């Protein structure tokens, strides 16, 4: 735009200068006692024979309006194409206006044109004055338009700037919402709620043919919990439980435990599941997947025990984990409109919970099906024998041998 404007202004200036230059050259006719009026009419018959001047060099009086047109073009190109502040534009317009009007006033061609145009009703005004007036009006009009366009452009810019700022704010809020939602829901479920408009009636659910569920409780936490003045009505006990749970949560951040999903804490019981990844069930061989799903929970359980031992050493406590593990089909879903909760249901969950409640402190208690999978994966399982499980009858259950197994059937 700037280049176009400069080119146009330059072209107009060249036209004007060229014409002026030719006119100025007519001063040579003075030396030959020839009046300019004679020359300007293009009459060359009175020239002395030794002066040969090409008739084309004489500007035609009829070309006087082209001065005005090129001046109009100059002002228009300053106004339309130059993308600068209105003050600078005004300055350039004024400069162009003064230059052009001065040019009109100083060149004879306008007088000649005026003389030829005497029968016109506005002929009492010299043509240069009329042209100047037209240019002044045009400059004023263009200036008003410039101000309007600049005002619109500035408002537009401010709106765009505000919109950009608001869009960035929306993106930031979206990011925060995502982080918050991912803290209460698994990442893939959070993604579902962030990307789709789900109504309250739509129940979000997933079916899995084989996932592993683990309940890890601290049975002796109940004995530790006490509401006395010494521990600020139970606050200190809660603080320690929070520390334990937070340390457990940190374990989940390890890449090797990325397939494990924390479901919730129920009192001092930590409930997790592995294999809750929709669409990824068929990717590997079913048996290998099942072994990995169960084995990773055993790995996690061993890590939890190690962490709790560490906390015991630091806080002079004797907490022990009692772990129940089972695997099989479950149904997962999100329930509730306010504070929605992702949870899993099914016989597998009930059995895992029972394995915990009927288990032994410091040991991982599993069903015979789960024990078989673990033994295939290379773990050693000790048969506990027949165990009565409420609602299920008598089941043969196993303890998984771990580096820190304390025995005790």
Ligand X SMILES: Nc1ncnc2c1ncn2[C@@H]1O[C@H](COP(=O)(O)OP(=O)(O)OP(=O)(O)O)[C@@H](O)[C@H]1O
Catalytic residues: 354, 390
**CB nearer ligand X, residue 96 or residue 213:** 213
**CB nearer ligand X, residue 298 or residue 349:** 349
Give CA–CA dist 41/317, Å, rounded: 119
Contact status: 397 vs ligand X (CB under 6 A): no
Of the residues 391, 393, 403, 408, which one makes contact with ligand X according to CB under 6 A: 391
Contact status: 353 vs ligand X (CB under 6 A): yes
Contact status: 393 vs ligand X (CB under 6 A): no
Q: What's the residue count for the chain?
A: 409
Taking a C-beta distance cutoff of 8 angstroms, is the pair 190, 181 a contact?
A: yes
Residue 271 CB, nearest distance to ligand X (Å)? 6
Residue 203 CB, nearest distance to ligand X (Å)? 15
Contact status: 345 vs ligand X (CB under 6 A): yes
Contact status: 212 vs ligand X (CB under 6 A): no
Contact status: 349 vs ligand X (CB under 6 A): yes
Residue 252 CB, nearest distance to ligand X (Å)? 18
Residue 344 CB, nearest distance to ligand X (Å)? 6
User: In the 3-class helix/strand/coil scheme, how is 28-77 assigned residue by residue?
Assistant: HHHHHCCCHHHHHCCCCCCCCCCCCCCHHHCCCHHHHHHHHHHHHHHHHH
Residue from 89, 103, 73 nearest 4 by CA: 73
Give CA–CA dist 38/89, Å, rounded: 41
Contact status: 343 vs ligand X (CB under 6 A): yes
Q: Pinpoint the alpha helices (H) of 82-122.
A: 86-106, 109-116
Contact status: 266 vs ligand X (CB under 6 A): yes
Which residues, 267 to 296, sit near ligand X by CB under 6 A?
271
Give CA–CA dist 146/88, Å, rounded: 11
Residue 264 CB, nearest distance to ligand X (Å)? 7
Residue 268 CB, nearest distance to ligand X (Å)? 13
Taking a C-beta distance cutoff of 8 angstroms, is the pair 26, 40 a contact?
A: yes
Site stretch for ligand X (CB under 6 A), options 24-32, 281-289, 339-347, 367-375 = 339-347
The DSSP bridge partners found for residue 327 are 212
Site stretch for ligand X (CB under 6 A), options 123-131, 162-170, 309-317, 342-350 = 342-350
Contact status: 18 vs ligand X (CB under 6 A): no
**CB nearer ligand X, residue 59 or residue 328:** 328
Give CA–CA dist 183/181, Å, rounded: 5
Contact status: 325 vs ligand X (CB under 6 A): no
Contact status: 354 vs ligand X (CB under 6 A): yes
Question: Which residue pairs, CB below 8 angstroms and at least 24 apart, start in 369-374?
Answer: 369/326, 369/327, 369/328, 370/212, 370/294, 370/325, 370/326, 370/327, 370/398, 371/397, 371/398, 371/400, 373/290, 373/291, 373/294, 373/295, 373/327, 374/291, 374/294, 374/295, 374/298, 374/400
Contact partners, residue 399, CB within 8 Å, separation at least 6: 360, 363, 364, 365, 366, 381, 382, 384, 405, 409
Residue 392 CB, nearest distance to ligand X (Å)? 7
Rounded to 5 degrees, φ, ψ at 328 are 155, -165
Residue at shortest CB range from ligand X: 353
Contact status: 364 vs ligand X (CB under 6 A): no
Which residues, 171 to 190, sit near ligand X by CB under 6 A?
none
SS3 384: strand
**CB nearer ligand X, residue 57 or residue 266:** 266
**CB nearer ligand X, residue 159 or residue 345:** 345
Of the residues 220, 317, 350, 376, which one makes contact with ligand X according to CB under 6 A: 350
**Which residues are at the interface with ligand X (CB under 6 A)?**
266, 271, 343-345, 349-350, 353-354, 390-391
């Amino acid at each position: 735009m700037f280049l176009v404007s400069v080119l146009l202004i330059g072209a107009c200036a060249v036209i004007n200068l060229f014409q002026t230059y030719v006119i100025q050259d007519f001063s040579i006719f003075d030396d030959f006692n020839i009046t300019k009026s004679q020359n300007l009419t293009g009459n060359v018959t009175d020239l002395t024979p030794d002066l040969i001047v090409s008739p084309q060099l004489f500007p035609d009086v009829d070309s006087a309006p082209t001065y005005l047109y090129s001046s109009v073009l100059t002002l228009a190109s300053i106004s339309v194409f130059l993308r600068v502040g209105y003050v600078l534009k005004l300055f350039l317009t004024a400069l162009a206006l003064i230059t052009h009007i001065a040019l009109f006033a100083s060149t004879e061609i306008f007088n000649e044109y005026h003389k030829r145009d005497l029968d016109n009703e506005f002929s009492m005004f010299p043509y240069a004055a009329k042209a100047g007036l037209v240019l002044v009006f045009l400059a004023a009009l263009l200036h008003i338009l410039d101000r309007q366009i600049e005002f619109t452009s500035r408002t537009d810019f401010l709106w765009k700037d505000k919109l950009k700022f608001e869009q960035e704010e929306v993106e930031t809020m979206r990011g925060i919402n995502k982080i918050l939602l991912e803290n209460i829901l698994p990442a893939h479920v959070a993604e579902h709620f962030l990307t789709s408009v789900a109504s309250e009636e739509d129940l979000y659910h997933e079916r899995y043919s084989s996932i592993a569920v683990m309940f890890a409780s601290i049975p002796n936490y109940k004995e530790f919990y006490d509401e006395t003045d010494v521990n600020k009505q139970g606050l200190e006990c809660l603080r320690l439980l929070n520390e334990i749970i937070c340390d457990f949560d940190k374990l989940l951040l390890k890449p090797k435990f990325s397939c494990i999903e924390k479901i919730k804490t129920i009192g001092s019981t930590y409930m997790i599941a592995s294999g809750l990844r929709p669409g990824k069930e068929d990717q590997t061989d079913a048996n290998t997947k099942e072994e990995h799903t169960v084995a990773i929970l055993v790995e996690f359980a061993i890590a939890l025990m190690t962490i709790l031992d560490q906390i015991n050493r630091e806080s002079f406590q004797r907490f022990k984990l009692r772990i129940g593990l089972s695997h099989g089909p479950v149904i997962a879903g999100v329930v509730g409109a306010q504070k929605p909760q992702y949870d899993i249901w099914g016989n597998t969950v009930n059995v895992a919970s029972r394995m915990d409640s009927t288990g032994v402190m410091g040991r991982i208690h599993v069903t015979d099906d789960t024990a078989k999978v673990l033994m295939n994966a290379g773990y050693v399982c000790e048969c506990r024998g027949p165990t009565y499980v409420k609602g299920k009858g008598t089941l043969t259950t196993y303890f998984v041998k771990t580096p820190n197994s304390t025995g005790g059937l």
